[in-house]
Amino acid sequence: MTDTPKRAQRAGHGADTIYWDPAKKSFVGAVSLGHGPNGKRRRPKVYGKTKTEVRQKIRDLKKEVQTGVKAPANYTVAEAVNDWLERGLKGRDEKGTIGKNRSMANKHLIPFIGKAKLKELSADDVDDWLDDRAEFLATRSLRDLLAILRRSIAHAQRRDKAARNVALLVTAPEGRPGRPSKALNLEQAKAVLTAARPSRLYAYLVLSLLSGVRTEEARPLTWDHVFLEATDGIPPHVAVWRSVRKHGETKTRKSRRTIALPRQVVDVLEEHMRWQKQERASRGMAWSPAGRVFTTRSGEPLDAANVRRDFKAIVKKAGLKPEWTPRELRHSFVSLLSDHGIPLERIALLVGHSSQATTEAVYRKQLRPVITQGAEAMDDIFAEGQEGEAAEDDEEGDAVA
């Protein structure tokens, strides 16, 4: 049976019919659904460009009748996505999960298939949309987009607004190669820290680069989780127990860890604490041990946008290309330790990975063959040439912030 238009043949009693309508320039499917309460035959019609499309619509219509799901005729993909964002993600982080999904949907989903009626959306439509976006997006982003559509339609199904989820029939295509993460070498790392020295972000960058904490772990860090003095044989350390994720949870259970601090980090954080106390006192604000270690000028918590903006300016000042991101400080931490001979299993513990295999998979480009251990390594790595720079900085009287 082909999709070539032919004259309609008379259907048997109670049978479904597919025929070409020259006036509408489309195939028509007349569906037999028995008789209504008034005794008249119920024979709704569906339309499509091909017989295959019409057959699928007939099956969908019959499924709606069997399941009792009557999908609204004019309910669009955009409405389904927005309903899911508003109601299906309740309790999620507005700036994180919801914000990311909303941004992706508004930029890459709704403008392209948002006007399509959900009831009429086909797997081919989804394939065509993803193939178009594959020219501009990485494979990971395409998978995220498809997941948004799948979950939006599933949310609509639970509310009897969709009979089936066509997005489940589709696989995300390969997209553009993603931008690979990279790591600062020692000279670049020192240049960044030197450029950051007069800024509010200096202590933040020193902690991130020399201890390997994630950006979402550094931003919510409070002083009562920072221990700058050795006690009972325990060296100065930072307790990484929270992040800016929902409910303050760290990425994984292994991410909750206590990290010994290099001497250089201790010195910088001590100076940062003194400076923060002075700044808050001058503005009539109380300083609290439970307060944030890193804040804006008004004392508000840092957000990711603050950090990215200031880091970009620092990188430019250091003479590097502005494409570097704060999260690559963690990649640099791994790379510097690996170059210094720290064993992979030790690095996995320091960065809070659930296994050595995770570290190897995530940071395989930064790892080298290895041999020895932790916080002392960073003091060794950054020791050369730092004393002279610190002395010059003290003479200039720059605030460490």
Provide DSSP, 102-149. Answer: HHHIIIIIHHHHTTSBGGG--HHHHHHHHHHHTTTSBHHHHHHHHHHH
**Catalytic residue chosen out of the listed positions 102, 133, 161, 330:** 330
Q: Answer yes or no: 159 catalytic.
A: no
Q: What angle is formed at CA 311 by the lines to CA 294 and CA 333, rounded to 5 degrees?
A: 80
**Catalytic residue chosen out of the listed positions 151, 200, 219, 353:** 353
The three-class DSSP label of residue 47 is: strand
Angle between helix 202-211 and 304-317 (nearest 10)? 90
**Catalytic residue chosen out of the listed positions 214, 242, 257, 331:** 214
Q: Measuring CA to CA, which residue among 168, 174, 124, 176 is closest to residue 149? A: 168
Residue 121, C-beta contacts closer than 8 angstroms, at least 6 positions apart = 77, 113, 166
Q: Return d(Cα 14, Cα 41) in angstroms, integer.
A: 9
Q: Answer yes or no: 115 catalytic.
A: no
**Catalytic residue chosen out of the listed positions 108, 204, 242, 363:** 363
Q: Answer yes or no: 330 catalytic.
A: yes
Q: Answer yes or no: 41 catalytic.
A: no
Q: Answer yes or no: 214 catalytic.
A: yes
Instruction: Tell me the residue type at 86.
Output: E
C-alpha of 20 from chain center: 48
**Catalytic residue chosen out of the listed positions 143, 245, 251, 277:** 251
Active site residues: 214, 251, 330, 353, 363
